[in-house]
Each structure stands twice: as structure tokens, then as C-alpha cells.
């Protein structure tokens, strides 16, 4: 004896057909007033401020040449002194951040 569940496939086909048959409307009409209603997006002043800061950040060079030149000069003149604990701390912090991200 073979049992088939035809209701499930018919229900699924009905749902698919109903979504395909609905026309996409750019604007809906309000039933009470008859006016067209459209979606609207407004960005706050904060988003404009964030965008301005993002652009400002992008304008900053990744390598700060003035600092690089100072360190190069200090290395050449053998006056560059680095505390080992600061280097170790920086390496650990970088490694931990890499693990988290």
C-alpha cells in the first residue's frame, strides 16, 4: 500500500503561485484618503557626521612618514631605545586582537 501526501505539495504550489501573481506596486494607495503612499528614507544628521568622519579618516595616510623618518634617524644615530616590555605588550595585544577577530 502506497501513501502519498499530496496536500503538502499542493499547498506549497499554491503559496508560490500566489506570490508570483501579486503585482509589484511602486506606490500604494491609502484606503481612507485615496492619496498615494510611498516609502521614504530619511537620514539623520548623525549619519552625515559619521560619513564626514569616515571620509576624513580615509584621507589620513596609513603610514606616518614623519614618524618613520624620526625612527630611521634615531636608529642610524644609535639613539633609538625601545623598552622590551612595551614591545612584548604590543605583540601580545596584537596577537589577542587577531585571535578575537
Per residue in 48-71, pLDDT tens?
Answer: 899 999 999 999 888 889 999 999
Alpha helices in the chain (DSSP H): 6-21, 45-59, 65-76, 84-100
Domain ranges of the chain: 44-101
What average pLDDT does the segment 28-53 reach? Answer: 75
pLDDT digits (tens, 9 = 90+) for 66-93: 999 999 999 999 898 888 888 899 889 8
**By mean pLDDT, which of 7-16, 45-54, 90-99 is the weakest?**
7-16
Looking at beta carbons, which pairs linking 38-47 to residues 24 or more positions away fall under 8 Å?
none
pTM of the entire predicted model:
0.33
Distance (Å, whole) CA 67 – CA 74 = 11
User: Is the pLDDT score of 5 beyond 70?
Assistant: no
Amino acid at each position: 500500500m502506497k501513501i502519498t501526501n499530496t496536500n503538502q505539495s499542493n499547498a506549497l504550489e499554491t503559496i508560490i503561485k500566489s506570490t508570483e501573481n501579486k503585482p509589484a506596486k511602486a506606490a500604494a494607495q491609502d484606503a481612507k484618503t485615496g492619496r498615494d503612499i510611498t516609502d521614504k528614507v530619511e537620514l539623520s544628521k548623525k549619519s552625515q557626521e559619521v560619513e564626514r568622519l569616515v571620509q576624513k579618516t580615509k584621507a589620513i595616510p596609513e603610514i606616518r612618514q614623519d614618524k618613520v623618518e624620526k625612527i630611521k634617524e634615531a636608529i642610524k644615530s644609535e639613539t633609538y631605545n625601545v623598552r622590551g616590555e612595551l614591545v612584548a605588550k604590543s605583540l601580545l595585544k596584537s596577537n589577542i586582537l587577531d585571535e578575537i577577530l
